[in-house]
């Protein structure tokens, strides 16, 4: 493994996810460009023993960074911490309970390398309801086929999905994720970018999503609704400087 600079940095927010973290790290180290991938695990005051698993992987792989905070933080605070230490040209978030096609990072970085006009790429996902299935062996219960990007329709609903990849240098221009959000901070950041930047939908399946009632967006529907309304108020009727 190289020590850097890396092509892509994968940010892993780890909180009470001990049963997922091993599979997550195996999945990321199985990428076809794992030698050009930096993995940054941010443990935000977890009450479980993810740390021991991460330390075990660090003995074998030199591309894993580990950050631990004493206090519980939002997922967006954890992502921001990871991004601030990332050395990759591109950033992606890697949720511990989701998985990727082995060529996912290679495919997405190739698009960003060859399309300097594109700020962010996102792809379709298979859906499973079974924990710790892998891309090579999973039981599909559905599929997320996202809309093609349009800055006007993105304000109606977030269809970027949970596994996008974007350019790290965007954070110098647009800032970081709003830590006051619990589940909609990524949507708000994509909306911030989409006023002037172009995204690209890859109409192919590159990931596996675990459908679970314990996920952030499902465990507190009232809070999710509050955040949805906040974003609608903030971005409704905005004047876009982006043109197709």
pLDDT per residue as tens digits for the range 7-43: 999 999 999 999 999 999 999 999 999 999 999 999 9
Q: Report the pLDDT value the prediction gives residue 5, as an integer from 0 to 100.
A: 80
Which is nearest to 152 in space by CA: 205, 199, 111? 199
Q: Where are the domains of the chain?
A: 8-235
Question: Does position 213 have pLDDT exceeding 80, yes or no?
Answer: no
E strand or H helix at 225? helix 221-235
pLDDT score recorded for residue 243 = 46
Asked if the model's pLDDT at residue 117 lies above 90, the reply is yes
Cα–Cα distance between 82 and 194 in angstroms, integer? Answer: 22
Return the CATH fold of 8-235: Spore Coat Polysaccharide Biosynthesis Protein SpsA; Chain A (3.90.550)
């Amino acid at each position: 493994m190289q020590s850097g600079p890396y092509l892509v940095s994968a940010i892993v927010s780890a909180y009470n996810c001990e049963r997922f973290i091993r599979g997550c790290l195996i999945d990321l180290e199985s990428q076809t460009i794992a030698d050009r991938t930096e993995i940054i695990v941010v443990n935000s005051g977890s009450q479980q023993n993810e740390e021991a698993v991460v330390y075990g992987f660090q003995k074998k792989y030199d591309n894993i960074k580990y950050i631990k905070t004493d206090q519980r933080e939002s997922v967006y605070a954890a992502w921001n911490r990871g991004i601030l230490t990332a050395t990759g040209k591109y950033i992606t978030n890697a949720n511990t309970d989701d998985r990727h096609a082995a060529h996912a990072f290679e495919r997405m970085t190739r698009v960003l390398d060859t399309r300097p006009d594109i700020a962010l790429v996102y792809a379709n996902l298979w859906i499973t309801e079974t924990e710790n299935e892998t891309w090579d062996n999973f039981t599909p219960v559905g599929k997320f086929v996202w809309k093609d990007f349009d800055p006007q329709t993105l304000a109606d609903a977030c269809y970027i999905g949970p596994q996008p990849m974007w350019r790290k240098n965007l954070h110098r221009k647009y800032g970081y994720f709003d830590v006051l959000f619990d589940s909609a901070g990524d949507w708000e950041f994509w909306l911030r970018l989409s006023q002037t930047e172009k995204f690209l939908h890859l109409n192919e399946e590159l990931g596996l999503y675990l459908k679970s009632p314990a996920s952030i967006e499902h465990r507190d529907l009232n809070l999710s609704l509050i955040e949805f309304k906040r974003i609608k108020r903030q971005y409704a009727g905005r004047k876009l400087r982006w043109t197709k």
